[in-house]
Amino acid sequence: MDALDLETVYRQHSRQVLATLIRLLGEFDLAEEALQDAFAAAAQQWPDQGAPDNPLAWLIRCGQNRGIDQIRRRQTVRFHADELARAADVSDTPDLAESSLQDDQLRLIFTCCHPALATESQLALTLREVCGLTTEQVARALLQKPTTLAQKIVRAKRKIREAGIPYEVPDDKLLAERLGAVLHVIYLMFNEGYARTEGEGLIDASLTAEAIRLAELLATLLPDGDVSGLIALMRLQDARKEARVDEDGELVTLEDQDRTLWNREEIHVGKAWLMRALGQAPAGAYTLQAAIAAAHADAPSFEETDWHDIAGLYDLLYQRSPTPVVALNRAVAVAMLEGPDAGVALLEGQSSHKAIQNYHLFHAALADLHRRSGRREQARVAYERALSLASQAQEKRFLEKQLARLAQSDGRKR
C-alpha cells in the first residue's frame, strides 16, 4: 500500500478508529495518541508487508495495544487502574462489528454534546473529535478565534473526564432533549465537507457522506421531523456536487452550474425525506432549508427559479433562526426577487454584527450585489475584503477572477 492509499484510509476512517479507541481506552487524549501511533505503525509496516484484509480492524487493534502500553508505562498506574482493567478485558477480542463501530461514532457525538458542557464547547469538541477538523477550521465554522476554540476544547475534555460523563447513546427521553445539539454538529460536519474552509479542493465527499450516514443512522433511533429535515437538506445539497466545480476543479456558482449534472436520483431521495419531515409538523429550521433546496432543484434554470417562494421560505426561516448567516442568504434571495439594491440594504443592516464582518461570504455577496447594480468601486472594495478573509483555494481564485473582470471592465470604459 502506498502513501496515497494510507492517506485515503486516514481521511475516510480515522474518525471511526478514534471513536472506537475512545470507547476501548476511555480517554480522549490517550485515544488520540493511540490513533497517531497506529497510523505511524501502518506507514512502517504496510508498504513492506502489504495492507491487511481489514485495515480498520488492524488499526483499532494496533491503537488499542499502543494505548494499553502507554497506560502501563505511566508512573501513575494506580490513577489509571480503571482504564487499564477495562482495556485489558477487551484487548484480545474488541467488538469490531460494523454496527458497533457505527454506534461508537454516535456515542462519541452524544458524549461531546452532553448538556453538562456549554453549547459552544459541545460544537467545538464534536467538530474537532468526530469530524477531525483542525482548530482553525472549527473556529471559522463557528466564527470565533482559534485560540478561544482551543481553550474550550481543552476544558471540555477535562470536564468529560472529571465529571465521568458516560460514553453512550442516551435513552429515548434524553435522546430527544439532546437532539438539537447533535443535529447542529452533523450539519456543520456536512457544511465543512460541502465547502471546505481551507486548503485545495472545494469538496470533501467523504465528510459529506459521513454526515449523511450518521443522520440516517440517527433517524433509525429517533424518527423526528428535524432529523428527516436535515437528511433532506443534505441529500438535496449533495446532489449538486458534480456541478459545483468545473473540469479544472474550480468553483462554479449556482447561477452558472450545468443542472444536467445534478444527481436526480439523490434529489428524489432528498424530496422523499422532505415530505416525511413536512408530515411531522411543525417544520423546523432544517426542514425549511430543505424546502429552499428543493425549490432550487425544481427550477429548470437559474433564471426560472421561483425566488418569490424562496424569499418567503427565508422569511419563515429567519423567524425561526435569526442568525447573521440566515440573514445573509435571505438578503440574496430578496435581491433576486426585488433587485440588488434591496439586497444591499438588508446586508448593510447586518453589518453591525462583529462575527459577520469577518465572514468572507458576507463581503462576497455584498460585492456581487454592488457589481449587479453597477457600483464597481464598492464591488472592488468588498471583493478585496472577501479575498483577504478567504482561506479556501478555489474560493480565493474565484474572488481574484471577479476582481480581474472588474478591472477589465473599468479599462474598457476609460
Helix axes 119-129, 3-25, angle to 10 degrees: 130
Q: Where are the domains of the chain?
A: 1-96
Contact 17, 62 (CB under 8 A): no
Between CA 5 and CA 50 the distance in angstroms is 12
- State the number of CA atoms in the 13 A half-sphere of 196 facing the CB: 21
Of 389, 393, 382, 387, whose CA–CA distance to 359 is shortest?
Answer: 389
Between CA 96 and CA 109 the distance in angstroms is 19
pLDDT value of position 363: 94
44's enclosing H/E stretch is helix 28-49
Question: Tens digits of per-residue pLDDT, 213-236?
Answer: 889 988 887 778 889 999 999 999
213's enclosing H/E stretch is helix 205-221
Q: Who contacts 57 (Cβ-Cβ below 8 Å, separation ≥6)?
A: 96
* pLDDT value at 204 more than 90: no
Cell of 275: 415530505
* pLDDT value at 374 more than 80: yes
Q: Who contacts 330 (Cβ-Cβ below 8 Å, separation ≥6)?
A: 311, 314, 315, 317, 318, 346
Calculate the average pLDDT of the chain: 85
1 falls in which pLDDT band (50, 70, 90)? low
Question: How distant, in Å, are the alpha carbons of 129, 184, 233, 265 from that of 211?
Answer: 14, 11, 11, 19
Between CA 323 and CA 400 the distance in angstroms is 28
Is the domain spanning 1-96 CATH 1.10.3470? The answer is no
350 falls in which pLDDT band (50, 70, 90)? confident
Identify which has the larger pLDDT, 125 or 271.
271
- Per-residue burial over 38-62, b if 16 or more Cβ lie within 10 Å, else e, is bbebbeeebeeeebbeebbebbbbb
311 falls in which pLDDT band (50, 70, 90)? very high
pLDDT value of position 78: 52
Cell of 382: 468588498
Q: Report the range out of 22-36, 72-86, 239-253 with the highest average pLDDT.
A: 239-253
pLDDT (mean) for 393-404: 92
pLDDT value of position 355: 73
DSSP 283: P
Percent over 90 (pLDDT), the chain: 40
* pLDDT value at 378 more than 90: yes
- Per-residue burial over 294-304, b if 16 or more Cβ lie within 10 Å, else e, is bbbbebeeeee
pLDDT value of position 92: 46
413 falls in which pLDDT band (50, 70, 90)? low
Contact 85, 143 (CB under 8 A): no
- C-alpha dihedral over 243, 247, 248, 254, to 10 degrees? -20
pLDDT value of position 91: 44
| Residues facing 251 on adjacent strands | 245
Between CA 229 and CA 342 the distance in angstroms is 30
Question: Tens digits of per-residue pLDDT, 138-193?
Answer: 887 777 888 888 888 999 988 988 888 888 888 777 777 788 888 988 898 898 88
pLDDT value of position 75: 52
Contact 124, 152 (CB under 8 A): yes
pLDDT value of position 175: 78
pLDDT (mean) for 315-320: 94
Contact 132, 15 (CB under 8 A): yes
Cell of 81: 487502574
Contact 16, 104 (CB under 8 A): yes
* pLDDT value at 380 more than 60: yes
